[in-house]
Amino acid sequence: MKKPSNLIAGILFSLLSACSTQPITTTNATAINTAASVTTVTVDKTLPAPDLYLEKAGKTLKLVRIMEGGVCKNELQGAIGMFSLYANPDDIERIKKKHGSGIFSDFESRITEFSMLTLQQATDQLDFQNESYPSSKQDTQQQLASELTNSFMVLILDDIAKFETETTLTINVKPTSNSIIIFLDGCKTPHGH
């Protein structure tokens, strides 16, 4: 009877291994210079995938994880989306050598926690009933998603700065393009955050 459980374990391991995210690296990446302190480096603008690299304070950050988050402002209104976590590979290696790789589990928990709190703050501040929004529900959704993204990016700056100071790991968290869904007629999130 051990053979079926070994077979199931083997299949599960294969499936889990196939699901791990290993970003593709390329030597053709170019920095986009903007006035922002964090700039996106794109590999191919035609790809729907999130950007694999960012430049921040003279360091290149690599996409290390995509997180899902969703919050409700009330029973009708809320937001859900995907958020990209970037970190500096050199910092990661240095911290691994000094503290071991187990420390990153704590880092991930802290980043997830302050990211979801920031999403809640940004959603709570969002004016879902603004009369200047377009009459089309889809256009309203796009405008609200844009406002939420901008608010999130401003609100998370202090938490990122505090985290970087405490851990010496340079990071950035940003909403993944076009992944934000705004709830206007009933807020449902797939799981609690």
Residue range 74-83, pLDDT digits in tens: 999 999 999 9
Q: Is 179 in a helix, a strand, or coil?
A: coil
Q: State the burial class of residue 10 (Cβ atoms within 10 Å of its Cβ: 0-12, 13-18, 19+).
A: exposed
The pLDDT score that the predictor gives to residue 50 is: 64
Residue range 152-180, pLDDT digits in tens: 999 999 999 999 999 999 999 999 878 99
Residue range 41-100, pLDDT digits in tens: 444 454 445 689 999 999 999 999 999 999 999 999 999 999 999 999 999 999 999 999
Task: Say which residue, 189 or 127, is predicted with more confidence.
Answer: 127
The pLDDT score that the predictor gives to residue 129 is: 80
pTM score of the predicted model: 0.71
